[in-house]
Amino acid sequence: MNSVKEEIEKSGSKMSSKTSQKIMNVVFVFSGILTLLILIVIIGYIVIKGLPSLNLNFLLSNPIDSGKSGGIFPMIISSLYVTAIAVVIATPLAVGAAIYISEYSSKGKIVDIVRFGAQILASIPSIIFGLFGLQFFVISLNLGYSVLSGGLVLAIMALPTIFQVAEVTLSSVPSLYKEGSYGLGATKWQTVVGVILPAAIPGIITGVILGLTRAISEAAAVMFCVGSAITTPIFITDPGRPLPLHLYVLATEGVSMQNAFGTAAVLVVIVLAITFITNYLVNRYQEKMMGER
């Protein structure tokens, strides 16, 4: 702590510590405002430019002339398909893993390995998932270019996100709850199903929503798996083209910037809505938990 004192004396000779504090306060506030501005400019630009396209007709009609005009209905359905497949497959696996780690084996090698595995899976670049999806799901498992192949790739990508949030939530369930349940003669599994999971549901839902956001925003991982067809997928074995991929194709191939803006605006609105709903749920849950104590 001596160095602090010296520093105070030293800085006093160069510039009064009050002046440097004032300067830094301005710099800090500026950095916060700049971050906020970046978000406002990007969202504002996309939404304002995309607003003219955002009508029911755009959302509910098929693209005409590979997307030059017309709507994005098949892309919305494709996005729903791949995201739903991803969440339905990833959630039980992720929650099961989280239950194992937090309730059945809280220490030891397996825990470290599983956590590190989730970290690796969360860190692999999406384009590598794309390569894997093409070689494994499309070619080796012969699932073809389909929303199923795309959804399975996204399931792997959403898995670590859901696991990490679920694990934190499960391990924060007060041990008093568990002891109460054991005291009544319940088995471990009965305690998990009857006591721990219900208490952790809001957190697990948050994790699922975060995984869902990752899946719905992804384009690089699915671009070689879904076939990029602009027809509406009916069965999960049909090809499709999710919204982010559609935006990428429209923009890079210069098909239609107006429709690209419309698609981007739809994506931004979806992500904003999901973020607001999650925040609302988390806040409400926290208030409820505080109220109980």
Partner 1 sequence: MTNSTEETGIKSILLITALFSIFVIFLIMAFIFVEGWPAFADYGFFKFLLGLKWDPNNNIFGVFPMIVGSLYVTFFALLLAVPLSLLCAIFMAEVAPNNIRKFLKPVIETLAGIPSVVYGFFGLMVIVPRVRTTFGGTGFSIFASGIILAIMILPTIISVSQDSLKAVPNSYREASYGLGATNWQTIRKIIFPAALPGIVTGIILGMGRAIGETLAVIMVAGNVSQIPSSIFAPVRTLTSNIALEMGYATGLHYNALFATGVILFIVIMILLLITNYVQRKYKMDVGGGTL
Considering only residues 51 to 110 of the shown chain, the ones binding partner 1 according to CB under 8 A are 92-94, 96-97, 99-101, 104, 110
* Contacts of partner 1 in 107-126 (CB under 8 A): 110, 113-114, 116-126
**How does DSSP classify residue 192?**
I
| Residue from 72, 154, 230, 264 binding partner 1 (CB under 8 A) | 264
Beta carbon nearer to partner 1, 64 or 113:
113
For tokens 């602009």, the residue is: 230
Q: Which is nearer to partner 1, 234 or 283 (CB)?
A: 283
Each residue 188-227 as x (binds partner 1 by CB under 8 A) or -, in order, gives xx-----------------------x--xxxxx--xx---
Q: Is 234 in the site for partner 1 (CB under 8 A)?
A: no
Site for partner 1 in 134-153 (CB under 8 A): 134-136, 140
Q: Which of 14, 27, 142, 293 binds partner 1 (CB under 8 A)?
A: 27
Long-range Cβ contacts of 101-107 (<8 Å, 24+ apart): 101/167, 102/167, 102/170, 102/171, 103/170, 103/188, 103/192, 103/196, 104/188, 106/171
> With respect to partner 1, which residue has the nearer C-beta, 183 or 235?
183
Token pair recorded at residue 162: 């859901």
What residues have CB less than 8 Å from 81, skipping those under 6 apart? 147, 150, 151, 233, 236, 240
Q: 63 forms bridges with which residues in the sheet?
A: 70
How far is Cα 44 from Cα 50, in angstroms, rounded to an integer?
A: 10
Nearest alpha-carbon partner for 161 in 197, 119, 129, 133 = 119
Cα distances (angstroms) measured from residue 159 to each of 156, 260, 261: 5, 30, 30
To partner 1, the closest distance from the beta carbon of 292 in angstroms equals: 22
Judged by beta carbon, residue 72 or residue 219, the one nearer partner 1 is 219
The nearer residue to partner 1, 184 or 234, going by C-beta atoms, is 184
Out of 207, 240, 244, 262, which residue is the one contacting partner 1 (CB under 8 A)?
244
